[in-house]
Structure 1
Amino acid sequence: MEPDDAWTTLRRQCEALEPGAELVTPVSERPFEIERTDDDRIVVRFGDSGEMRPLWREQFVVFLEQLDEGAVSVDHLQPGVEPYASVVTLADEYTADEETISYDADAVGGESPFLVSPAAARDRPERVHDDALLLAALLEELDAAEPASLDTDSLTDLYVLASDVQHGSNRVRRSARDPLLERLGPDQELHGRYGTVRRTTRERREPTDAETIFAALDDRGIPREWVTGVDRDKLDVVLAVTDLEEDEVYDVDEDVYVQKTGVDEDEKYSRLRGIADRIDDLEGTEGEDLREELDDIEERLEEALSAG
């Protein structure tokens, strides 16, 4: 491909990316976004550091000339070249796999393996925020106080979103734990807008090795039989290789529950964007009232999650 044509194609592909979409570098897997395109550069911003970096047209030409001469090994890409390689694969004629990036004039255009959709590019706090907003919107639509009266689709959506908010908020809570522990001294409490936390210590006990345990028992004349029992792992092996039946050695209780087996993140993201677009379309008092209502919903969700 001629340099001018390739440059025009790359700029057009960068400008056509969905808002919020990211690229990742092939080796170091650093995420970055396209900030803007100019006549002589494409400016990117790295998500892990906030660093802004220009990718120069002349450097793209050099890299494309290498590809014209043959495939480039992904493993041999230098850190400074990695973002160039990621951007190049946005063009249909440049293909990539786990090992190489190459030029093929007859290639059927496919999505770059280094392109991350806006839905997948969100970090953990953003996902919790979005799931909480979707759950709040759903709760406004449904009579969740009477779940049995809901249709099956609504009940399923309610369960999935509530589960996503629960698990997502738990992960965010755990990520906040270590910084809080560094700021909490013994018998100290920290107060926020929504509640209070303090340092708590719990002991978890695990038996040491059998030899040490038996030696301690023997020293005190305690029979080893008092602490020995059935090894479940060994029992499962016996079940697998003999004709012993499970109900002969196990008391089996059946626990029936609902298991979430899949989440349609693209559908959730589309719905979220639809809510945001409708809010943006509203003007005047009606739009302002709705924004205030959503702010209130988010605040009540934060209070509920903090209390839980």
Structure 2
Amino acid sequence: MPFRVTWSNLLDNVEELPADATLLTPVSQKPFQITDVQQHRMLIEYQTGSETVPLQREQFETLFQRVDDAAGAFDLDRLPPGAEPYATVASLHPRFTIDDRDGTLSESETPTASPLVDAHTVEHNDTSREEPDISVYADSLLLIDALEQHDVTSLTDLEMPTLVNLYTLLSDVQRNANDLRQDVRGVLLDRLHHDQPVSGQYGSVQRTARKNRTLKHDETVLERLEAQGIAPERVMSIDASKVDDALEVTALSESDVYDIEESEYVRKADVDEEMKQTRLQGLKDQLAGADEDTTELQAEIEELEQRITELTSFDSGTSYHTRSTGG
């Protein structure tokens, strides 16, 4: 097919995009928008700056030729600096497709939509917000509420129940956020196909690798080191678990073989899930009624908050701490 026909089809598809459509570069994931479409070029602007960047017709022709020369699958890592937007826009043509996972731009007989446009188009959605059914959302909402009620810039001025509530919620948010982070990381590892950073609105990530070392069998290690002139005594250490076993059958005390330093710390002893759910429902009702007449609802919530305060109050002399010993 002559390139003039390909170019004409591409221009038609670009002009059909919503005016507020946001596109992403395929490798660095930088958002940009097409601001103007002309006969021999397009103009784009990155969201991170106001500079207008022209995308020339002849460069698109070169890119399509490279896809053809690559037997239909062009490796996006081969794009020269600054050329990523060409690949994104090219994927708007019904015969050209970007594969996020493989990092390729390919030609296909079957028309497909670009994942770098459809999945990232900015839409003004006026429908009601939906609550994600995940633990970290609920705990974060409770934590935000607590932070809004108390001045945490001066923790020493806070009462004991408030500090306990803050510590409990922070602990829950940390645990649940880390669980979700691990799940997100697993999906990212499937999609990151190179070491180049990929950027989002709030930051960037990069695939990397690290070594986890485990010593071979003791005899193997000692034999190979001894063959190089290293005496076994230089690398052998005392096993703490075996020392503990020996203490049980001797008259020695822990302090005879251990240097012991005592330390105190706070741990989360218990969580009142029922009370958290009661408070959480009140917050959800507040959010749901934000645009309505909520006078009656607000009175109910304030009464509920007073009940929660009374139920969760306890002697300020009570604290949770344990003592540990080295070993």
- TM-score with structure 2 setting the length: 0.47
Count of paired positions: 166
SS at match of 2:205: strand
Report how far residue 195 of structure 1 moved: 1.0
Distance between the aligned counterparts of 1:283 and 1:195, measured in 2? 32
**What do you get for the CA RMSD once the two structures are aligned?**
2.4
Matches within 5 A, 1:282-297: 283-284=291-292
SS at match of 1:199: coil
Is 1:231 the counterpart of 2:231 in the alignment? Answer: no
Distance between the aligned counterparts of 1:205 and 1:138, measured in 2? 44
Larger relative helix fraction: 1
Distance between the aligned counterparts of 1:203 and 1:286, measured in 2? 57
Is 1:259 the counterpart of 2:244 in the alignment? Answer: no
Indicate the residue corresponding to 1:141 in structure 2: 149
Report how far residue 186 of structure 1 moved: 2.9
Report how far residue 226 of structure 1 moved: 0.6
Larger Rg: 2
Is 1:245 the counterpart of 2:258 in the alignment? Answer: no
In structure 2, the CA distance between the partners of 1:179 and 1:281, relative to structure 1 (3 Å rule), is closer
Letter in 1 for 2:138: D
Distance between the aligned counterparts of 1:137 and 1:182, measured in 2? 36
Matches within 5 A, 1:119-138: 126-138=134-146
How high is the sequence identity, in percent, across the aligned residues?
39
Greater alpha carbon shift after TM alignment, 152-161 vs 277-286: 277-286
259, 268, 275: which one pairs with 2:283? 275
Is 1:187 the counterpart of 2:195 in the alignment? Answer: yes
Report how far residue 284 of structure 1 moved: 3.9
Letter in 2 for 1:249: V
Report how far residue 141 of structure 1 moved: 0.3
Indicate the residue corresponding to 2:186 in structure 1: 178
SS at match of 1:235: helix
Distance between the aligned counterparts of 2:267 and 2:227, measured in 1? 50
CA contact (8 A) 1:214 1:224 kept: yes
Report how far residue 283 of structure 1 moved: 4.7
Indicate the residue corresponding to 2:176 in structure 1: 168
Distance between the aligned counterparts of 2:184 and 2:231, measured in 1? 47
Distance between the aligned counterparts of 2:261 and 2:212, measured in 1? 27
Matches within 5 A, 1:26-65: none
Report how far residue 277 of structure 1 moved: 2.3
**5+ residue gaps, structure 2:** 1-131, 299-327
Letter in 2 for 1:277: D
In structure 2, the CA distance between the partners of 1:125 and 1:174, relative to structure 1 (3 Å rule), is farther
**5+ residue gaps, structure 1:** 1-123, 291-308
Report how far residue 270 of structure 1 moved: 0.9
Matches within 5 A, 1:72-83: none
Distance between the aligned counterparts of 1:143 and 1:231, measured in 2? 48
178, 200, 206: which one pairs with 1:198? 206
Letter in 1 for 2:214: E
